[in-house]
Amino acid sequence: MIRPGPSSPDTGDDVTTQTRRRIIDAATEVFLQDGYVGAKTDEIASVAGASKQTIYKHFGRKEKLFEQIVLDRLGGIGEIFQAAIGELAVTDNVEATLTAVARKFVHAIMQPSHLRVRRLVIAEAGRFPHLGHAYFEAGPERVHAGLASAFEQLTTRGLLRVDEPLLAANHFTWLVVSIPVNKFMFCGDDTRFTQAELDHYADSAVRVFTAAYGVAG
Amino acid sequence: MIRPGPSSPDTGDDVTTQTRRRIIDAATEVFLQDGYVGAKTDEIASVAGASKQTIYKHFGRKEKLFEQIVLDRLGGIGEIFQAAIGELAVTDNVEATLTAVARKFVHAIMQPSHLRVRRLVIAEAGRFPHLGHAYFEAGPERVHAGLASAFEQLTTRGLLRVDEPLLAANHFTWLVVSIPVNKFMFCGDDTRFTQAELDHYADSAVRVFTAAYGVAG
């Protein structure tokens, strides 16, 4: 819904979008540098070249700004994944399509900027569990719900044998991403994997998954 | 190696062990409360009822104390796991023993105090990657090396079919623990699972693993 408020009569939508983008990028940088508690709106305003008032107008308080950053990050990965899940539900070649989905997924999730935000959310989940909840719902739970639905359709079509779709969805994604994600979580921001390594994790995860949930023969 | 230094001529081993235990428990409490950067040696000394000098004598600087806390936590889980891995290598009933190992493992790792330390290590891994490395080596990598060795022996004995033992070890552990561990990481310290839920994660992980790596028939 587009509804320019009386407080911004001269602001076109493009300008608003650009301003929001600039603030989100600046806030991401400052949050990652200083942590959630250490991040100051003054610093974010300075990096963004915006006033504190503008930040408050667009995002409200720090907590809401952080949620927007998280949702912004997850949105990109969610889009990739929703498209892939759509292909999966209608495929006739489950293993090939699962492999394509797994590869796209692991490459998307292993972007260092995404993983640093992931680590920051975990870091604050003890003190601010609602931030972690927001991430968990918009990220893993959304992906798992979509995958579970695709697995159900493939089971109905006789191409998979899945009795607990949500459990199977969890098995699939954690098989694909756990090895590189956990290594990055613990071993720091310089942790890198080659494309071939990530593809190998994806392919072997699909092999394990289809052995368990595939239709023999 | 027990070698009382000249600086503690009257300190029996029991007293030393108790003092170390008290300092480790106090430091864990303070680190979890205030974070790594926020934790102060003064506060740890006060909670432990020990002097700062005693802490420095036993552990050195804050970084070393934190490493000791991490290694202390992992030691307990490592012992459970090494015993279980020993049973696994010589079992004649792979599925039953894997199930027992998986259940022990998921129950041990899901202790809230352990998971809070895990989250703290991840939180600091961007700024202090050597802390995360220490955790990763003493925890996941040690467990995976032991499991990989057991899987190799079971493959030699014709009871499993594992071509990449370390990859298979990773598949096994992340299948078992990823669902509850990730939920706790994101959704806060009050996240709880019933024994039955954890057993179900363990059992279903074993079912997926043996479908992929078991010997058919």
Q: Which residues in chain B touch residue A211, judged by CB atoms under 8 angstroms apart? A: 208, 211-212
Nearest to B119 among A122, A167, A212 (CB): A122
A136, A140, A211: residue with CB nearest B211: A211
- Over 80: is that where the pLDDT of B107 sits? yes
Strands in B27-108 per DSSP E: none
Q: Do A209 and B208 touch (CB under 8 A)?
A: yes
Q: pLDDT higher for A195 or B20?
A: A195
A9-60 is a CATH 3.40.1360.10 domain? no
Q: B13-60 in CATH: which number?
A: 1.10.10.60
Terminal Cα-to-Cα distance of chain B (whole angstroms): 50
If you measure CA to CA, which chain A residue comes closest to B116? A126
How close B176 comes to chain A (CA, Å)?
Answer: 9
For chain A, the DSSP string reads -----TT-TT--HHHHHHHHHHHHHHHHHHHHHHHHHH--HHHHHHHHT--HHHHHHHH-SHHHHHHHHHHHHHHHHHHHHHHHHHHHHH-S-HHHHHHHHHHHHHHHHT-HHHHHHHHHHHHHTTT-HHHHHHHHIIIIIHHHHHHHHHHHHHHHTTSB--SSHHHHHHHHHHHHHHHHHHHHHHH-TT----HHHHHHHHHHHHHHHHHHHBPP-
The predicted structure's pLDDT at residue B113:
87
Instruction: State yes or no: pLDDT of B203 exceeds 80.
Output: yes
| CATH number, span B65-213 | 1.10.357.10
Would you call B175 and A179 a contact, using CB atoms and an 8 Å cutoff?
no
- Kindly report, residue by residue over A44-61, the tens digit of the pLDDT: 999 999 999 999 998 988
Higher-scoring residue by pLDDT: B18, B209: B209
pLDDT at B13: 67
Percentage of the residues of chain A whose pLDDT score is greater than 70? 94
For A60-118, what is each residue's pLDDT tens digit?
Answer: 888 888 888 888 888 877 887 888 888 998 999 999 999 999 999 999 999 998 999 99
Chain A residue numbers with beta carbons less than 8 Å from the beta carbon of B170 are 178-179
Average pLDDT over every residue of B141-166: 96
In this prediction, residue B7 carries a pLDDT of 43
Q: Provide the ipTM.
A: 0.88
The hierarchical CATH code for the domain A66-213 is 1.10.357.10
Domains in chain B: boundaries: 13-60, 65-213
- Reduced to 3 states, what is the DSSP secondary structure of residue B154? helix
- Give the pLDDT confidence of B56-92 residue by residue, as tens digits: 998 988 888 888 888 888 887 788 788 888 899 899 9
Q: Is A12 a residue whose pLDDT tops 70?
A: no
pTM, to two decimals: 0.88
| Span B35-57, pLDDT tens digits | 888 899 999 999 999 999 999 99
Rounded to whole angstroms, the Cα distance separating B192 from B202 reads 16
pLDDT of residue B5: 38
User: Residue A126: what pLDDT?
Assistant: 86
Name which of A33-37, A143-147, B113-117, B155-159 the model is least confident about.
A33-37
Residue A10 has pLDDT above 50, yes or no: no
Q: What is the pLDDT of residue A30?
A: 92
Q: Give the model's pLDDT for residue A37.
A: 81
Mean pLDDT of chain A: 89
Point out the residue among A116, A125, A209 whose CB comes nearest to the CB of B119: A125
The mean pLDDT value for B24-29 works out to 91
Closest-CA residue of chain B to A34? B127
Average pLDDT value for chain B: 89
